[in-house]
């Protein structure tokens, strides 16, 4: 297997008596797309919370870019190159599209410059401008984020997660609630981001998973049920029983 950018070993957290993530290990290869799939409540978003520093694991370790980062705070991980988008829309609805992006890009300013007047935060402004163009949102730069269509909001969220120039991007159901057409274009966009970037993707649309993924990890009741190439996972009887409902 090619070099791993992210390595998760025996990661675990319980919520009361519920083992939300139990003894989970996997690797995400540099430059690839690794997908996490599994039924509702399988522990996928909790895994992202553990990897991105929103929750502290009770057991296990996380290694990122050759360094142990277990328990690091979200902000420190972001500076090290690990960024995430959320399953539930996480925009500032009352701010413009540009301001949302500029705030997300502020982490690029040297430490101590974050409180500069907006006009002087040049790196953040440049990055926000580039992302507006790249994500087809330039015409909406001055619109309030709350006034965008659902598809545009989800696109903006991916752009915001990229604003910090991460090495690893965690995307939690980026196509949720999208039309078929928006799902296809979002999938194409995600594919085009891989290579320079390593992507960890939670996705329910099984066609998207099969088309995009280099590697698939299947979770069930907090634990890893299977992993492999999309084809290997699709043919796995335990996966079909627990999750795919016999889809071929
Ligand atoms: N903060 C929390 N406190 C208590 N229980 C939680 C918490 N977060 C999640 N859970 C529970 O942990 C389990 C895993 O939830 P999680 O959100 O990780 O699942 P998921 O795989 O992302 O599901 P979905 O596909 O619906 O998004 C669920 O039973 C959920 O109810
Ligand atoms: Mg979830």
**Ligand 1 closest atom vs CA 222:** 14
Q: Where are the domains of the chain?
A: 4-81+166-244, 93-153
On the question of pLDDT at 120 being above 90, the answer is: no
Bridge partners of 32, per DSSP, are none
Distance from C-alpha of 204 to C-alpha of 227, rounded to nearest angstrom = 16
Q: What is the pLDDT of residue 246?
A: 46
The stretch 141-151 carries a mean pLDDT of 95
User: How far does residue 86's CA lie from ligand 1's centre (Å)?
Assistant: 13
Instruction: Give per-residue pLDDT as tens, 164-206.
Output: 999 999 999 999 988 899 899 999 999 999 998 999 999 999 9
* pLDDT computed for residue 119 by the predictor: 57
- The neighbour count for residue 192, using CB atoms within 10 Å, is 11
3-state SS assignment for residue 128: helix
pTM, to two decimals = 0.92
- For 66-112, how does the pLDDT look when each residue is reduced to its tens digit (9 = 90+)? 999 999 999 899 999 999 987 666 789 999 999 999 989 888 777 65
Count of residues making up the chain? 248
* Residue to substitute in 14, 16, 37, 45 for testing ligand 1 pocket (most ligand atoms within 8 angstroms of CB): 45
Residue minimizing CA distance to atom 31 of ligand 1: 41
Q: Report the separation in Å between the CA atom of 124 and the middle of ligand 1, taken as the mean of its atom positions.
A: 34
Query: Which pLDDT does position 68 carry in this prediction?
Result: 97
Residue of 42, 50, 171, 201 to mutate, ligand 1, most atoms within 8 A of C-beta: 42
177 C-alpha to ligand 2 centroid (Å): 13
For β-strands 168-172 and 198-202, DSSP reports them as: parallel
- DSSP for residue 176: T
Q: Are strands 67-68 and 4-15 parallel, antiparallel or unpaired?
A: unpaired
Query: Cα of 41 to ligand 1 centre, how many Å?
Result: 5
Asked if the 4-81+166-244 domain carries CATH number 3.40.50.300, the reply is: yes
Mutating to test ligand 1, I would choose from 16, 20, 48, 219 the residue with most ligand atoms within 8 A of its C-beta, which is 20
Q: Which two tokens stand for residue 13?
A: 């957290």
Is residue 211 classed as helix, strand or coil in its secondary structure? helix
pLDDT of residue 231: 95
Ligand nearest to the CA of 44: 1
Q: Residue 113 — very low, low, confident or very high, per pLDDT cuts 50/70/90?
A: low
């Amino acid at each position: 297997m090619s070099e791993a950018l992210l390595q998760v070993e025996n990661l675990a957290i319980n919520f009361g008596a519920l083992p939300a993530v139990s003894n989970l290990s996997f690797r995400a290869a540099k430059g690839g797309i690794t997908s996490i799939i599994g039924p509702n409540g399988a522990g996928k978003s909790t895994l992202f919370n553990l990897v991105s520093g929103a929750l502290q694991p009770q057991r296990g370790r996380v290694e990122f870019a050759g360094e142990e980062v277990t328990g690091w705070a979200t902000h420190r991980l972001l500076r090290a190159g690990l960024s995430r988008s959320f399953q539930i829309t996480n925009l500032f609805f009352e701010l413009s599209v540009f301001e949302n992006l500029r705030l997300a890009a502020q982490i690029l300013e040297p430490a101590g410059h974050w409180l500069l007047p907006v006009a002087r935060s040049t790196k953040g402004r440049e990055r926000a401008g580039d992302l507006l163009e790249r994500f087809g949102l330039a015409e909406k730069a001055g619109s309030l984020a709350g006034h965008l269509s659902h598809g545009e909001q989800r696109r903006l969220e991916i752009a915001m997660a990229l604003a910090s120039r991460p090495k690893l991007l965690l995307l939690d159901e980026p196509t949720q609630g999208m039309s078929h057409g928006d799902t296809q274009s979002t999938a194409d966009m995600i594919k085009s981001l891989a290579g320079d970037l390593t992507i960890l993707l939670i996705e329910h649309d099984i066609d998207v998973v099969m088309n995009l993924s280099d590697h698939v990890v299947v979770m069930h009741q907090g634990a890893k049920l299977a992993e492999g190439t999309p084809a290997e996972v699709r043919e796995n009887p335990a996966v079909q029983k627990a999750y795919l409902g016999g889809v071929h």
